[in-house]
């Protein structure tokens, strides 16, 4: 069974940067897509960024130009580089993997943007 573990969350000031990592027990190269979602208190979980098996990426409009999703097949990890953070980025960030009909989720890592 695929296991996903997020890390890298924490407290950062507005305008700062943070890098999240997702370690997968499975082979991420075999996944159709790897993604980062986030969920703020009282809000619905939303897609932040996705990277497909072919390497193409897509981002939510709210983070485009500020966030970058990447994949490291050798380390079997997926990363999310977050720059120019603002308070609305505060949320629990979840790693997500999809392969055929299977969907996997990590436990999440808290990101708090505050001065």
User: Which residue in 59, 38, 39 sits closest to 49, CA to CA?
Assistant: 59
d(CA 58, CA 49): 6
pLDDT at residue 53 is higher than 80: yes
Per-residue burial over 73-101, b = 16 or more CB atoms within 10 Å of its CB, e = otherwise:
eeeebbbbebeebeeebbbbbbbbbbbee
pLDDT at residue 100 is higher than 90: no
So what's the pLDDT on residue 29?
Answer: 77
d(CA 112, CA 38): 12
Q: Residues 52, 32: contact at Cβ < 8 Å?
A: yes
**64-89 pLDDT tens trace:** 999 999 999 888 899 999 999 999 99
């Amino acid at each position: 069974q695929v296991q996903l573990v997020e890390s890298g969350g924490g407290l950062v000031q507005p305008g700062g940067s943070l890098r999240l990592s997702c370690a997968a027990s499975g082979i991420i190269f075999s996944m159709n897509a790897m993604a980062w979602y986030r969920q703020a208190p009282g809000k619905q979980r939303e897609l932040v960024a996705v990277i497909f098996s072919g390497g193409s990426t897509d981002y939510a409009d709210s983070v485009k130009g500020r966030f970058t999703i990447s994949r490291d097949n050798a380390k079997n990890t997926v990363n999310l580089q977050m720059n120019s953070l603002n308070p609305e980025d505060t949320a629990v960030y979840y790693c997500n993997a999809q392969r055929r009909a299977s969907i996997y989720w990590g436990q999440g890592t808290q990101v708090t943007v505050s001065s």
